[in-house]
């Protein structure tokens, strides 16, 4: 008898759902141990937490692979670690990477400051124009990287044409889908080869862990694990346990993030102090059609440009009480930040403008509080 296909909420709670025996703990315990006993003379796999085969590391990776619909997955010590290792798994010195111009500032720094040193060339292309992607492909191109939904402007890319180009040229498509979580969007279903996520965000969801994850085919994940072992990037067992616990509520958290995101975006759209709102669930969003077609939810992230520029943004941020002014996002508590001073710090005005970050732009991460309270908080902060 084949096992029933489980829903995402069930998977997020039970993972592989192996039957429990009498006196088994219901909650998978933390194995806070760096090392594990070996039988003398045994040729069997050696367990060591830097190798990523501590039972907590294995359990969280299995659950995440199931949620993404991937053959395999691995967690590492940060989202940036995941981005770095995923790329190093498919690129060698002399190779070329085509990357979307709309990416997280940290990822851009990795490409600009480190990849050149490793002999990997990067060409940035207009995320919304697949013709420029095709033109950018060279003989040495081995991978395409995109981020969707985009941090911090919440634009949504249609992966299908980009995946088509990757397939045509036989190159890997890597997608950072941190802003959606596998509940709202699963890039592998849309032609991606490798998914990268900052598990610091929605997967863990409680703003108390830094971690990243990569999902894809077994052979890609084996290569990532090989690199993780030699570059020393494994996740701590306690962090793995916390994420595994956080993931149990991922599906219900996302439902609430989606509902609160839409309610807050609709409020901001009508507010006279706000000149632009970017939320894929709004009919006014430039990618609304793509978002409706490809996402299962629009998430809790909103980009908003306040009338009055930087001064208005600072005034609002100082008056907010529930939206905490802090970098990071996607936790149960609402957070807000100014990307020009956080994710895109140090970028010139023109670069910020090209990334869609106008003066007075703030990025809101709607948590799972009561929507009315979040709206009241913003109403107070934006009042003249």
Ligand X SMILES: Cc1ncc(COP(=O)(O)O)c(C=O)c1O
Give the residue numbers annotated as catalytic, written as ranges: 50, 104, 176, 201
Q: Which of residues 339-378 bind ligand X (CB under 6 A)?
A: 343
Residue 260 CA to residue 275 CA, distance in Å, equals: 20
Which residue is at the shortest CB distance from ligand X?
79
Task: With contacts defined by CB under 6 A, name the span among 52-60, 76-84, 291-299, 371-379 that binds ligand X.
Answer: 76-84
Q: Which of residues 98-127 bind ligand X (CB under 6 A)?
A: 104, 106
Determine if 147 is a binding residue for ligand X (CB under 6 A): yes
Determine if 198 is a binding residue for ligand X (CB under 6 A): yes
Phi-psi region of 305 (alpha: psi -120 to 50; beta: other; left: phi over 0): beta
Determine if 212 is a binding residue for ligand X (CB under 6 A): yes
Residue 370 CA to residue 376 CA, distance in Å, equals: 10
Nearest residue (CB) to ligand X, 57 versus 200: 200
Determine if 287 is a binding residue for ligand X (CB under 6 A): no
Shortest approach of ligand X to residue 22 CB, angstroms?
40
- Altogether, the residues listed in the chain come to a count of 384
Residue 209 CA to residue 207 CA, distance in Å, equals: 6
Nearest residue (CB) to ligand X, 133 versus 145: 145
Determine if 235 is a binding residue for ligand X (CB under 6 A): no
CB 297 within 8 A of CB 254: yes
CB 99 within 8 A of CB 112: no
Structure tokens at 324: 């905490």
Task: Find, among 279, 237, 224, the residue nearest to 28 by Cα.
Answer: 237
Contact string (CB under 6 A) for ligand X, positions 151-170, x = contact: x-------------------
Binder of ligand X out of 55, 79, 281, 297 (CB under 6 A): 79
Shortest approach of ligand X to residue 11 CB, angstroms?
23
Determine if 178 is a binding residue for ligand X (CB under 6 A): yes
Contacts with ligand X: how many residues (CB under 6 A)? 15
Phi-psi region of 31 (alpha: psi -120 to 50; beta: other; left: phi over 0): beta
Question: CB 108: neighbour CB atoms within 10 A?
Answer: 20
Determine if 258 is a binding residue for ligand X (CB under 6 A): no
Determine if 210 is a binding residue for ligand X (CB under 6 A): yes
DSSP states along 89-133:
HH--TT-EEEEESS--HHHHHIIIIIITTTT-EEEEE-TT-HHHH
Nearest residue (CB) to ligand X, 78 versus 207: 78
Nearest residue (CB) to ligand X, 301 versus 378: 301
E strands along the chain, which residues? Answer: 72-76, 96-100, 121-125, 141-147, 172-176, 194-198, 212-216, 274-278, 301-306, 324-325, 335-337, 361-365
Which residues of this protein are in contact with ligand X, per CB under 6 A? Answer: 78-80, 83, 104, 106, 147, 151, 176, 178, 198, 200, 210, 212, 343
């Amino acid at each position: 008898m084949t096992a029933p296909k489980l829903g995402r909420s069930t998977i997020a709670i039970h993972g592989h759902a192996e039957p429990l025996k009498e006196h088994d703990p219901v909650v998978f315990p933390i194995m806070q141990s760096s090392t594990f006993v070996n039988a003398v003379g045994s040729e069997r796999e050696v367990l060591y937490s830097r190798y990523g085969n501590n039972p907590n590391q294995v359990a969280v990776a299995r659950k995440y692979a199931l949620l993404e619909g991937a053959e395999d997955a691995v967690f590492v010590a940060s989202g940036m670690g995941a981005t770095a290792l995923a790329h190093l798994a498919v690129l060698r010195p002399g190779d070329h990477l085509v990357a979307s111009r709309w990416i997280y500032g940290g990822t851009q720094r990795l490409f600009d400051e480190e990849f050149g040193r490793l002999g990997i060339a990067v060409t940035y292309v207009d995320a919304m124009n697949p013709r420029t992607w095709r033109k950018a492909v060279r003989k040495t191109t081995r991978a395409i990287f995109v981020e969707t939904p985009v941090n911090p402007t919440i634009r949504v890319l249609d992966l299908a044409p980009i995946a088509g180009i990757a397939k045509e040229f036989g190159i890997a498509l890597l997608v950072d889908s941190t802003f959606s979580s596998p509940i709202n969007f699963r890039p592998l279903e849309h032609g991606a080869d490798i998914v990268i996520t900052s598990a610091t965000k929605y997967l863990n969801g409680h703003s108390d862990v830094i971690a990243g994850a990569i999902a894809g085919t077994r052979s890609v994940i084996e290569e990532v694990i090989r690199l993780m072992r030699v570059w020393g990037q494994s996740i701590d067992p306690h962090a793995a346990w916390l994420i595994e616990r956080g993931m149990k509520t991922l599906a219900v958290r996302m439902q609430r993030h989606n509902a609160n995101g839409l309610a807050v975006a609709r409020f901001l759209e009508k507010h006279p102090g706000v000149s632009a709102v970017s939320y894929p669930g709004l009919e006014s969003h430039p990618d609304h059609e793509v978002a409706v077609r490809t996402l299962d939810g629009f998430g809790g992230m909103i980009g908003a440009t306040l009338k009055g520029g930087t001064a208005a943004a600072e005034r609002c941020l100082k008056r907010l009480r529930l939206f905490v002014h802090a970098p990071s996002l996607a936790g149960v508590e609402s957070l807000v930040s100014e990307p020009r001073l956080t994710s895109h710090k140090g970028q010139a005005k023109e670069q910020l403008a090209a990334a869609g970050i106008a003066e007075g732009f703030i990025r809101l991460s709607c948590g799972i509080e009561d929507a009315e309270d979040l709206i009241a908080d913003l109403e107070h902060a934006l009042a003249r």
